[in-house]
Structure 1
Amino acid sequence: MIANSNHARDIAYQLHPQTNFSLHEKIGPTIISRGEGFHVYDDAGNRYLEAMAGLWCAALGFSENRLAEAAAKQFAALPYYQNFAHRTSEPAIALSERLIEIAPVPMSKVLFQSSGSEANDTAVKLAWYYFHAIGKPQKRKIIARKRAYHGTSIASASLTGLPHIHRDFNLPLDGFLHVTCPHFYREGLPGESEEAFADRLAKEIEDLILAEGPETVAAFFAEPVMGTGGCVVPPKGYYEKVQAILRKYEVLFVVDEVITGFGRTGNWWGTQTYDLKPDMISSAKALTAAYQPLSALLLSEPIYQAMKEQGDKIGVFGHGYTYGGHPIACAVGLEALTLYEERGLIAGAQVLGAQLEGRLKALLDHPLVGEVRGVGLMWGIELVRSKATRQAFDPSLKFGLEIQRLAFENGLIVRALGDTLIMTPPLIITPEGIDNAVDRFTKALGLGLDLLATKGIALDKAA
Structure 2
Amino acid sequence: MRDDNFLSEMNARHLWHPFGHPGEARANPPKIIRRAEGVRITDEAGHTTIDGVGGLWCVNLGYSCQPIKDAVAAQLAELPYYSAFKGTTNGPAIELSVELARWFGPEGLTRAFLTSGGSDAVDTALKLARQYHKLNGEPGRTKFVALTKAYHGTHWGGAAVNGNPLFRAPYEPHLSGTFHVPSPYAYRNPWDETDPERLSALCLRMLEEQIVFQDPATVAAFILEPVQGAGGVIVPPESFLRGAREICDRHGVLLIADEVISGFGRTGHVCASRRSGVRPDLMTLAKALTSGYFPMGAVMVSERLADAFEHEETGGMIPTGYTYSGHPVGCAAALACLAETERLKVWENAASTGARVLAGLEGLRRHACVGDVRGIGLMCALEIVSDRDAKTADPARAGRIFEAAYRAGAMVRWSGANLVVSPPLTLTPAEGDAIVAALDQGLSEAG
TM-score of the two chains, using structure 1 as the length reference: 0.92
Q: Secondary structure at the match of 1:167?
A: helix
Match of 2:407 in 1: 409
* 1:309 Cα deviation from its structure 2 partner: 3.5
Match of 1:448 in 2: 446
Q: Residues 36 and 156 of structure 1: is their aligned pair in 2 closer, same or farther, counting only changes over 3 Å? A: same
1:304 alignment partner, one of 292, 303, 306 = 306
Determine if the alignment matches structure 1 residue 69 to structure 2 residue 67. no
Q: Is the 8 A contact 2:187 2:194 kept in 1?
A: no
2:252 alignment partner, one of 232, 250, 253 = 250
Q: 295-304 vs 20-29, which deviates more?
A: 20-29
Q: Is the 8 A contact 2:404 2:445 kept in 1?
A: yes
Deviation per CA, 1:309-329, whole angstroms, max 9, x where unpaired?
34x224842111110110111
Q: Residues 29 and 194 of structure 1: is their aligned pair in 2 closer, same or farther, counting only changes over 3 Å? A: closer
Tell me how far apart the structure 2 counterparts of residues 362 and 15 of structure 1 sit (CA, whole Å).
Answer: 38
Match of 1:46 in 2: 47
Q: Residues 152 and 66 of structure 1: is their aligned pair in 2 closer, same or farther, counting only changes over 3 Å? A: same
Q: How does 1:111-130 map onto structure 2 within 5 Å?
A: 111-130=113-132
Gaps of 5+ in 2: none
Q: Is the 8 A contact 2:265 2:350 kept in 1?
A: yes
* 1:155 Cα deviation from its structure 2 partner: 0.5
Q: Residues 190 and 59 of structure 1: is their aligned pair in 2 closer, same or farther, counting only changes over 3 Å? A: closer
* 1:70 Cα deviation from its structure 2 partner: 0.7
Q: Is the 8 A contact 2:53 2:420 kept in 1?
A: yes
* 1:3 Cα deviation from its structure 2 partner: 10
**In the alignment, residue 392 of structure 1 is paired with which amino acid?**
T
Q: What is the Cα-based RMSD across aligned positions, in Å?
A: 1.7
Determine if the alignment matches structure 1 residue 189 to structure 2 residue 187. no
* 1:410 Cα deviation from its structure 2 partner: 2.1
Match of 2:111 in 1: 109
* 1:13 Cα deviation from its structure 2 partner: 1.5
Tell me how far apart the structure 2 counterparts of residues 36 and 318 of structure 1 sit (CA, whole Å).
Answer: 41
Q: Residues 66 and 207 of structure 1: is their aligned pair in 2 closer, same or farther, counting only changes over 3 Å? A: same
Deviation per CA, 1:45-66, whole angstroms, max 9, x where unpaired?
1112100101100111122222
**In the alignment, residue 448 of structure 1 is paired with which amino acid?**
A
Q: Is the 8 A contact 1:198 1:236 kept in 2?
A: no
Aligned pairs, number: 444
Tell me how far apart the structure 1 counterparts of residues 167 and 192 of structure 2 sit (CA, whole Å).
Answer: 31
Match of 1:370 in 2: 371
**In the alignment, residue 392 of structure 2 is paired with which amino acid?**
A
**In the alignment, residue 371 of structure 1 is paired with which amino acid?**
D
Tell me how far apart the structure 2 counterparts of residues 211 and 177 of structure 1 sit (CA, whole Å).
Answer: 11
Q: Is the 8 A contact 1:184 1:235 kept in 2?
A: no
Tell me how far apart the structure 1 counterparts of residues 195 and 151 of structure 2 sit (CA, whole Å).
Answer: 26
Q: How does 1:324-343 map onto structure 2 within 5 Å?
A: 324-343=325-344
Q: Residues 315 and 246 of structure 1: is their aligned pair in 2 closer, same or farther, counting only changes over 3 Å? A: closer
Tell me how far apart the structure 1 counterparts of residues 326 and 252 of structure 2 sit (CA, whole Å).
Answer: 31
Match of 2:59 in 1: 58
* 1:411 Cα deviation from its structure 2 partner: 2.5
* 1:236 Cα deviation from its structure 2 partner: 5.2
Q: 159-168 vs 435-444, which deviates more?
A: 159-168
Match of 2:7 in 1: 6
Tell me how far apart the structure 1 counterparts of residues 391 and 180 of structure 2 sit (CA, whole Å).
Answer: 25
Q: How does 1:48-447 map onto structure 2 within 5 Å?
A: 48-103=49-104, 104-187=106-189, 189-190=191-192, 193-235=195-237, 237-310=239-312, 312-314=313-315, 316-387=317-388, 389-393=389-393, 398-447=396-445
Q: Secondary structure at the match of 2:292?
A: coil
Tell me how far apart the structure 1 counterparts of residues 409 and 35 of structure 2 sit (CA, whole Å).
Answer: 15
* 1:98 Cα deviation from its structure 2 partner: 0.8
Deviation per CA, 1:156-199, whole angstroms, max 9, x where unpaired?
11111111211121243210111112101211635664322212
Tell me how far apart the structure 2 counterparts of residues 11 and 219 of structure 1 sit (CA, whole Å).
Answer: 42
* 1:21 Cα deviation from its structure 2 partner: 1.5
Q: Is the 8 A contact 2:260 2:286 kept in 1?
A: yes
Tell me how far apart the structure 2 counterparts of residues 200 and 70 of structure 1 sit (CA, whole Å).
Answer: 48
Q: Is the 8 A contact 2:256 2:283 kept in 1?
A: yes
Q: Secondary structure at the match of 2:144?
A: strand
* 1:308 Cα deviation from its structure 2 partner: 2.3
Q: Is the 8 A contact 1:83 1:324 kept in 2?
A: yes
Q: Secondary structure at the match of 1:112?
A: strand
Q: Secondary structure at the match of 1:21?
A: coil
Q: 112-121 vs 199-208, which deviates more?
A: 199-208
Q: 169-178 vs 64-73, which deviates more?
A: 169-178
**In the alignment, residue 67 of structure 2 is paired with which amino acid?**
R
Q: Secondary structure at the match of 1:221?
A: strand
**In the alignment, residue 441 of structure 1 is paired with which amino acid?**
L
Tell me how far apart the structure 2 counterparts of residues 423 and 154 of structure 1 sit (CA, whole Å).
Answer: 28
Tell me how far apart the structure 2 counterparts of residues 365 and 236 of structure 1 sit (CA, whole Å).
Answer: 29
Q: Secondary structure at the match of 2:350?
A: helix
Q: Is the 8 A contact 2:223 2:258 kept in 1?
A: yes
Q: Is the 8 A contact 1:195 1:236 kept in 2?
A: no
Tell me how far apart the structure 2 counterparts of residues 435 and 315 of structure 1 sit (CA, whole Å).
Answer: 52
Q: Is the 8 A contact 2:135 2:315 kept in 1?
A: no
**In the alignment, residue 178 of structure 1 is paired with which amino acid?**
H
Q: Residues 190 and 106 of structure 1: is their aligned pair in 2 closer, same or farther, counting only changes over 3 Å? A: closer
* 1:38 Cα deviation from its structure 2 partner: 0.5
Q: 123-132 vs 84-93, which deviates more?
A: 84-93
Q: Is the 8 A contact 2:53 2:423 kept in 1?
A: yes
* 1:365 Cα deviation from its structure 2 partner: 2.9
Deviation per CA, 1:55-99, whole angstroms, max 9, x where unpaired?
100111122222111100011111111111132111111111111
Q: Residues 316 and 237 of structure 1: is their aligned pair in 2 closer, same or farther, counting only changes over 3 Å? A: closer
**In the alignment, residue 404 of structure 1 is paired with which amino acid?**
F
Q: Is the 8 A contact 1:158 1:172 kept in 2?
A: yes
Q: Secondary structure at the match of 1:385?
A: strand
Tell me how far apart the structure 1 counterparts of residues 193 and 109 of structure 2 sit (CA, whole Å).
Answer: 41
Q: Is the 8 A contact 1:143 1:176 kept in 2?
A: yes
